[in-house]
Amino acid sequence: MAERTEISSLGEFGLIDHLTKNNEIKNASTIVSVGDDAAVLDHFGKQVVVTTDMLVEGIHFDLMYTPLKHLGYKSVIVNLSDVYAMNATPQQITMSIAFSNRFSVEALDEFYEGVYAACDRYNVDLIGGDTSSSQKGFIICVTAIGEVAPDKYVKRSTAKIGDLICVSGDLGAAFLGLTILEREKKVFLETKGVQPDLENQDYIIGRFLKPEARKDIIEFFAANKIIPTSMIDISDGLSSEILHICKQSKTGCVLYEEKIPVNDMARQFAYKLEIDPTACALSGGEDYELLFTIDQNDYNKIVSNDNISIVGHITEQEEGCLLVTKGGNTHKLTAQGWNAFK
Amino acid sequence: MAERTEISSLGEFGLIDHLTKNNEIKNASTIVSVGDDAAVLDHFGKQVVVTTDMLVEGIHFDLMYTPLKHLGYKSVIVNLSDVYAMNATPQQITMSIAFSNRFSVEALDEFYEGVYAACDRYNVDLIGGDTSSSQKGFIICVTAIGEVAPDKYVKRSTAKIGDLICVSGDLGAAFLGLTILEREKKVFLETKGVQPDLENQDYIIGRFLKPEARKDIIEFFAANKIIPTSMIDISDGLSSEILHICKQSKTGCVLYEEKIPVNDMARQFAYKLEIDPTACALSGGEDYELLFTIDQNDYNKIVSNDNISIVGHITEQEEGCLLVTKGGNTHKLTAQGWNAFK
């Protein structure tokens, strides 16, 4: 970027003013927004849903291939996804960031452009936050607040035996997007100046860099009077998430490999890299799709929606958590999701 | 500490289970707590107050002289203080932390001991959060949620001309506590093995390491049917905070140096260090007292409370923001509060 304004030239309060000067309130429930000790919300007659996520440079993202605008967008999305996973509608976020002095005001502007784009698209108000220095790296902490009609929230722990297991969208592409970006980073570092060869893999790269949250699925539930029996968002891979549902619901499950939705371009690219596309879907993570269970009686309501795949069903706990492969073999599901501490 | 359990031996979900296994719900408004995509709250008939703060190692705290238990306690308190500053009652917090691999499970236990101690004392539920690795240092991000009767919240922007300016407790001691800890750290680093000489300065060190939030003042307001005309918590020093109120309320102010409450031990220690105690109160920060304005008609209600000092009054904007010294001179107030970006 051509211009570079030092953050110290604005000071903390000047920076906050600068970053929030075009911040507009969209929701009637937002009474007091940015600029006081706290925000005030009025979710009259609704229950309030709260979730929070931290994103740390070098752990959750790499600024070598993550544009700041995409990062701002994604840091909002991953939190909204958690709100939708409760069958709730996000209304507000707080955004706290810590950054070292290598960041300029222009860089933060780019980041906030993504934050505001996500807020606009999902009709969410930015109501507060904190800005701080860091000794090293960029750290993001978002809290999202949503609302849900009383007792219409959906937990992880309430799946019942016989329920159908469903997922939205397709799985595994975000992991493949990350894989290609990591590969090209390595090539670039080894042979400086070589331009990355992204092989027109816009779909999988987009799935990683600029995920969306499944607002449409929650709206489909409301329009069709469906309340899932349990729900979770897929951030660590299908396998890890269904194991959460089964553990908390005290059930088992059967998933069918052939039913797991994988995008065609993702599948082709996985074969090219000699990775199993099913492994990407089970353990890849970062898809931000919804995994949910429904009563069998709701089958007819679901089947018309092309964005939803039925991938298995809930069984007794003693039967364990199983995957039936295309070849007809049965494997125990294990959580190989990304573990930040290993 | 004798024992050291590697965090990697628990994994992310094991660690969360470990840190929250004794977490008990205290408030009826907490419907779903830790363990799902999000928490669910029911603040039926109340308005919801939300605030968030980030604390970064090396910027906001120094683990050389900050015990982890105190840090856990303080990281909750600084957020509750913001909720009280809205005339609201905190009910829930989320706690997100990122830490490098030099931290053990025992170290995090110590930190959470302080977190839970603050939650117990202030009757607040820990309802969620995030745990993550960091490349360097310990990063804490807390969001606090409170409730307030509809339209009883108090903003910064609503002080009126003629209002009395009040502060709770005493000011400047936390800065002096920090000063002595920094001094002894320097001596220790220069002459390894020398034990710190804290000169029995328990009061000022305690004010820095283990601040409290002014729950009692909010309860006093409720019991005496007082609604301040404006309020803010004092985290950056009296000067910076009164300037926020005046700027947002479009007013001026006069503060009287002789009225600013400074603890006797703090005053003596300031003289010993040849620092002006008033400068500590104006610009020191980290006191977490409340600064508020009241209508003159509420004078009789306030005057009986020994924990509240009247330090000045609100004037027309054109008159500026002024300090009248003990010697009778008049100075313009300037914000010399701690600025993280300088």
**pLDDT for A248 beyond 70:** yes
- Residue B300 dihedral angles phi and psi, to the nearest 5°: -65, -30
Q: Which of A313-322, B49-58, B129-138, B227-236 has the lowest mean pLDDT?
A: B129-138
* A:B CB pairs within 8 Å: 232
Q: Answer with the residue of higher pLDDT: B340 or B65.
A: B65
Which of B7, B10, B32, B40 is the mutation pick for testing A, counting most A CBs within 10 A?
A: B40
What local confidence, expressed as pLDDT, does residue A216 receive? 98
Residue-wise pLDDT tens digits, A289-305: 999 999 999 999 999 99
**Is the pLDDT reported for residue B247 higher than 60?**
yes
Q: Where are the alpha helices (DSSP H) in chain B?
A: 11-20, 68-84, 105-121, 173-190, 202-209, 215-223, 238-249, 264-272, 277-283, 299-303
For residue B35, the Cα-to-chain-centroid distance in whole angstroms is 28
Q: Which of A28-42, B29-43, B315-329 is modeled with the greatest confidence?
A: B315-329
What are the structural domains of chain B? 11-148 (3.30.1330.10), 164-332 (3.90.650.10)
Q: Considering only the C-alpha atoms of chain A, give the largest distance between any 2 of them, rounded to a whole number of Å.
A: 65
d(Cα A81, Cα B257) in Å, to the nearest integer?
Answer: 52
The answer to whether residue B173 scores a pLDDT higher than 60 is yes
Query: Which residues in chain A are contacts of B137 at CB distance < 8 A?
Result: 134-136
- CB nearest A339 (choices: B12, B129, B153): B12
CA nearest to A230 within chain B: B36
Is residue B50 predicted with pLDDT exceeding 60?
A: yes
Burial of A275 (0-12, 13-18, 19+ CB in 10 A): middle
Percentage of chain B modeled with pLDDT above 70: 97
Give the per-residue pLDDT at A334.
85
What pLDDT shows up at residue B309? 98
Nearest CA in chain A to B78: A37
Which pLDDT band holds residue B254 (cuts at 50, 70, 90)? very high
Q: Report chain B residues whose CB lies below 8 A from the CB of A52.
A: 94, 96, 128-130, 141, 143
Nearest to A56 among B42, B132, B146 (CB): B132
Q: What is the pLDDT of residue B77?
A: 98
Residue showing tokens 């992991």: A175
Higher pLDDT, residue B311 or B24 = B311
Mean pLDDT (whole number) for B201-212: 95
Average pLDDT of chain A, as a whole number = 92
Asked whether the beta carbons of residue B94 and residue A50 sit closer than 8 angstroms, the reply is: yes
CB–CB contact A86 B40 (8 Å): yes
pLDDT tier for residue B1 given thresholds of 50, 70 and 90: very low
The token pair at A84 is 């939708």
Contact residues, chain B, for A14 at CB < 8 Å: none
Lowest mean pLDDT among B37-41, B45-49, B234-238, B293-297: B37-41
Q: What is the pLDDT of residues A149-193, one digit of tens each?
A: 998 999 999 999 999 999 999 999 999 999 999 999 998 888 877
Region A214-218: what's the mean pLDDT? 98
Residue A338 confidence (pLDDT) above 60: no
The pLDDT assigned to A254 comes to 98
pLDDT confidence of residue A2: 60
Check pLDDT > 90 for residue A6: no
R_g (Cα) of chain B, nearest Å: 21
Rounded percentage of chain A residues whose pLDDT exceeds 70:
97
- Sort out which chain A residues have CB atoms less than 8 A from B49's CB and list them: 38-41
What tokens were used for A87? 């069958």
B80-127 per-position pLDDT tens digit: 999 999 999 999 999 999 999 889 999 999 999 999 999 999 999 999
Contacts of B94 in chain A (CB under 8 A): 50-52, 143
Mean pLDDT within B129-143:
93
Rounded to an integer, the average pLDDT of B269-291 is 94
Residue A340 confidence (pLDDT): 38
> Bigger pLDDT: B324 or B7?
B324
| Residue B271: count of CB within 10 angstroms of its CB | 11
Instruction: Indicate whether B253 pLDDT > 70.
Output: yes
Comparing alpha-carbon positions, the chain A residue that sits nearest to B291 is A37
Mean of pLDDT values over B34-54: 91
Beta bridge partners of B312: B165, B255
Per-residue confidence band for B340, with pLDDT thresholds at 50, 70 and 90: very low
CA atoms of A289 and A167, how far apart (whole Å): 7
CA distance A277 to chain B (A): 25
Question: Mean of the pLDDT values across residues A195-210?
Answer: 87
- The mean per-residue pLDDT over the stretch A60-78 comes to 96
- Whether A7 and B157 lie within 8 Å, measured CB to CB: no
Q: Measure Cα distances from B130 to A290, A342, B10, B60, B216 in Å.
A: 20, 16, 15, 20, 31
- Is the pLDDT confidence value at B4 over 90? no
pLDDT score, position A146 = 95
- Name the least confident of A306-310, B3-7, B78-82, B196-200: B196-200
- Does the pLDDT of residue B337 top 60, yes or no? no
* Residue A336: per-residue pLDDT: 66
Residues 6+ apart with CB under 8 A from B166: B228, B291, B292, B293, B294, B302, B308, B309, B310, B311
